[in-house]
Amino acid sequence: MFAPRSGGPLLVTAAALLLVGGLGAVAVLPFPLPVLVLWVALCAVWTFSAWFFRDPERSPGEGIVSAADGRVRAVEERGDELLISVFMNVTDVHVNRLPLTGTFERVGDAGAGHRAAYRPDADRNVARTYELSTALGPVRIVQITGVLARRLVSFVGPGTTRQKGERFGMIVLGSRVDVFLPRSRVVPTVRAGDRVLAGSTTIAREPR
């Protein structure tokens, strides 16, 4: 399955054109070597794009789940909030999923610049913040751009309610997703360096 609204229809169309082009080229053999090289190169580009925009089905994990695939870069207390930050490599699935059931109260863009997402000052990069009301209280999810990742994609808008594990957006070419949870209501279950999967890996739970 391909990521919704982010290349699926285009990839299907491109695959059909490449197939027709390849069959047409075979039908008129011999054909110039440059044409063959071009066709192979286009197939390689399509293969990378299909792999990049992959969107596997996931079963929601227990507790509060990760919003992104990748590696946990930070687990920090910031005032009344607990920050769990995940860095997405270019090899990770780029579709972001909801950590817990909630209603999107506000979606807004802010920031400037495109610093490397793993740097501390990347907090000031162009970013999109999702403010949610949940059973635990207010929760924020922040998609942060990076040096190459400059396209933020949203599948939701204010007033939308989604269940835990459902897709809400993606960042094209990687970067970082920060989740801010009410610190008094949760206990982290991951630490910096852990690998996580969006929608399925538990990153926090309510205290017992």
Query: For strand 161-162 and strand 137-144, is the pairing parallel, antiparallel, or unpaired?
Result: unpaired
- What radius of gyration, in Å, describes the C-alpha atoms of the chain? 20
Match 């059909």 to its residue by tokens: 16
Backbone angles phi, psi at 206, to 5 degrees: -75, 145
Active-site residue flag, 175? yes
**Cα(184)–Cα(199) distance, integer angstroms:** 23
**Residue 146 φ/ψ region, left for φ over 0, alpha for ψ in the -120 to 50 degree band, beta for the rest:** beta
Question: What string of DSSP letters covers 104-130?
Answer: EEEEEEE------TTSGGGGGSSEEEE
* Helical pair 33-52 and 8-27, crossing angle rounded to 10 deg: 160
**Cα(127)–Cα(17) distance, integer angstroms:** 36
**Choice among 6, 175, 184, 200 that is catalytic:** 175
Please name the amino acid found at residue 22.
G
Residues identified as active-site: 175
